[in-house]
Amino acid sequence: MKNPETESSAVIGFGVRAHLASELHAEGDIEVYGTIEGDIRCQSLLVGSSGHISGSVIADSVEIKGHSASEITAGHILLRDGSEARGNIGYTTITVDAGATLNATLTRIEPTATTADAAIDDPGAQAATDE
């Protein structure tokens, strides 16, 4: 994650008791420790161990320590020990720690300059898939 004190883009955080049912677009990073039901587009997404995501996610990088029942499209995805990911996942690189639960359809995508930049500039943009 970027340091919000030195970077031009801010970190948006959602606490353990926070619940958002909406669409969220950010040019910076998002950290989730509560629940988000909706679409997320950002540079970097961290789902903390108490975090729950359902909806679609488009980001350059995604780190999951909590739970995701989403459609994820990201350059790099990291599933930490104790995390759970379900749904459809498009990735350039993916790392799954021992102890993570992965029950998803995986599709390798070609690397792009920045997945999230394209999504933020054109919310309807989809990453190309390599099937």
Mean of the per-residue pLDDT values of the chain: 79
Q: Is the pLDDT of residue 127 over 80?
A: no
Alpha carbon of 121 to those of 72, 93, 113: distances in Å? 18, 23, 13
Predicted local confidence at residue 100, as pLDDT:
97
Mean pLDDT to the nearest integer, 74-81: 97
Q: Is the pLDDT of residue 121 over 60?
A: no
Per-residue pLDDT band at 25 (split at 50, 70, 90): confident
Task: Count the domains in the chain.
Answer: 1
Domain extent, residue 58, equals 11-121
| Residue 1 included in any domain | no
C-beta of residue 96 within 8 angstroms of C-beta of residue 102: yes
| Residue 128 included in any domain | no
